């Protein structure tokens, strides 16, 4: 029983620290009116629109008249990543206990212990992902295809763009 508690403590500590150990870079999600949503790095911002490079390296330019919403967040742990990480850590701890000879005597107890640790890891990872997602969200702009509204709001995006970081890399710290 002591080993299970120690494994649970280790899993929670790993999940908690992984969401905060990140280099300060931002990702943007652009919700558009007619095409699929795009996630990537904000490259440039102007009063007419934005340029985004997705995670596959494709470069997009979006005009303000096509943008419904823009969400900026710091790269870090997401809910899905937290679920996967927590499950993997829980499964690893469960398998380690499963193959140890001195914790449980029969197969049923070992299997139950493995399943419990995997479940607890998944729940802990999901909670860590939810907290990480909430803490990492920096800006949400609801443009709703309104070019005038975009022109009033686009300067808020500038500090999250790659061009702003390259121009003054020490200004972006958190």
pLDDT range class, residue 36, cuts 50, 70, 90: confident
User: Around Cβ 145, how many Cβ atoms within 10 Å?
Assistant: 13
pLDDT range class, residue 159, cuts 50, 70, 90: confident
Find tokens 């934005």 and name the residue: 50
Query: Of 157, 134, 172, 160, nearest to 67 (Cα)?
Result: 157
pLDDT, greater one: 141 or 20: 141
8 A C-beta contact, residue 70 and residue 29: yes
pTM of the model: 0.58
pLDDT at 161 over 90: no
DSSP labels, 79-93: HHHHHHHHHHHHHHH
pLDDT, greater one: 157 or 85: 157
- Vertex 33 angle, CA 30 and 35, to 5°: 75
Query: Of 39, 88, 79, 75, nearest to 60 (Cα)?
Result: 39
pLDDT for the residue numbered 24: 43
8 A C-beta contact, residue 69 and residue 140: yes
How many angstroms from the chain centroid is the CA of residue 17?
14
pLDDT, greater one: 2 or 128: 128
Rounded to 10 deg, the angle between the 107-136 and 79-99 helix axes is 160
User: Around Cβ 3, how many Cβ atoms within 10 Å?
Assistant: 14
């Amino acid at each position: 029983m002591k080993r299970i508690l120690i494994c649970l403590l280790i899993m929670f500590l790993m999940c908690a620290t992984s969401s905060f150990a990140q280099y300060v870079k931002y990702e943007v999600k652009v919700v558009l009116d007619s095409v699929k949503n795009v996630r990537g790095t904000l490259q440039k911002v102007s009063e007419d629109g934005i340029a985004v490079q997705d995670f596959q390296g494709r470069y997009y330019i979006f005009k303000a008249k096509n943008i419904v919403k823009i969400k900026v967040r710091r790269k870090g742990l997401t809910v899905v990543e937290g679920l996967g990480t927590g499950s993997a850590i829980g499964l690893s701890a469960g398998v380690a206990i499963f193959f140890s000879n001195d914790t449980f005597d029969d197969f049923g107890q070992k299997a139950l212990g493995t399943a419990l640790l995997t479940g607890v890891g998944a729940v802990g990872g999901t909670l860590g992902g939810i907290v990480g997602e909430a803490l990492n969200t920096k800006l949400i702009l609801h443009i709703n295809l309104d070019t005038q509204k975009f022109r009033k709001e686009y300067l808020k995006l500038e500090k999250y763009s790659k061009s702003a970081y390259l121009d003054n890399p020490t200004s972006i710290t958190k």
